A = this chain, B = another copy of it.
Amino acid sequence: MPERHVVKYTFLKVDPAWRRLPDEERAAHKREFVAACEDFASERLLRAFSTVGTRGDTDLMLLSQATNLERIHEFHVVLAQSGLMKWCTQPYSFLAMTKPSEYSDESRLEVRPAHSKYLFVYPFVKTREWYALSADERWAIMQEHIKVGKQYPDIDLNTSYSFGLDDQEFVVAFEGDDPARFLDLVQRLRTTEASSYTKRDTPTFTCVAASVERALSALDGTPLAETAHA
């Protein structure tokens, strides 16, 4: 039987003062950070994203996944020992788990981001009116939502669940190579009935896929080359 996974979205902001440190010191800090990531990633999913240029309040996002919460905790303990984390704050942090969907057979017990250029992430809370509907009513409303989504097959969705674990109910992560297509999908979804039951769907993050090394370089040096996503 497939296992459910713990999924963690960790957003980091580097203190501007870090950029004033000597090159060698910053390079050492980044090597330690990479080492912590490589250790975790050897057996589990770890993805890095840069938010430089898309958000003002965060620079880097790590998506980590494991079959138990202890391992996620341990990863962050080890990461905190890297020199870089001694200059970072975590302005956002979303803890979630995978779970079969009530509304779709295509749900996943693992978050499996493909190698799209972008990940669009937001925490999601529905109104309590939504939960007062019958299961059948909710199912019918979601079918319209899912049908619209299928018109955008180039956009893929990873939903995880945070009820009781963190401030949101869901963490929604869409993937795609073209921000315009995703924008059009989200605007189109505003007119569905499901949309009227949205209580909160912000903050919304546009995350640029990158290796850990490239996401770190974007903090103080060379931009991610476009070819990195080819």
Contacts and interface: CB of A to CB of B under 8 A. Distances in A.
Interface of A: 4, 6, 8, 10-11, 15-17, 19-20, 50, 52-57, 69-70, 72-78, 80-81, 85-93, 95, 97, 99, 117-118, 120, 128, 131-132, 161-167, 169, 174, 179-180, 182-187, 190-191, 195-196, 198, 202-204, 206, 208, 218-224, 226
A118 B16 contact: no
A76 B208 CA distance: 13
Nearest to A217: B77
Contact of A52 (B73, B203, B226): B73
A190 B72 contact: no
Nearest to A19: B86
A85 B19 contact: yes
Question: Which residue of A15, A54, A184 has the most chain B CB atoms within 10 A of its CB atom?
Answer: A54
A202 B208 CA distance: 27
Contacts of A57: 90, 93
B69 A208 contact: yes
A77 B95 contact: no
A179 B53 CA distance: 30
26 contacts: A4-B180, A11-B56, A15-B16, A16-B86, A19-B85, A52-B77, A52-B80, A53-B77, A54-B93, A54-B165, A56-B90, A77-B222, A80-B219, A120-B164, A120-B165, A128-B198, A131-B195, A131-B196, A132-B196, A162-B183, A163-B186, A164-B186, A164-B204, A165-B183, A167-B203, A169-B187
A18 to B, nearest CB: 9
B56 A92 contact: yes
Contacts of A91: 56
Contacts of A223: 73-74, 77-78
A74 B97 CA distance: 33
Contacts of A165: 54, 120, 179, 182-183, 204, 206
A207 to B, nearest CB: 10
A88 B93 CA distance: 19
Contact of A73 (B54, B131, B169): B54
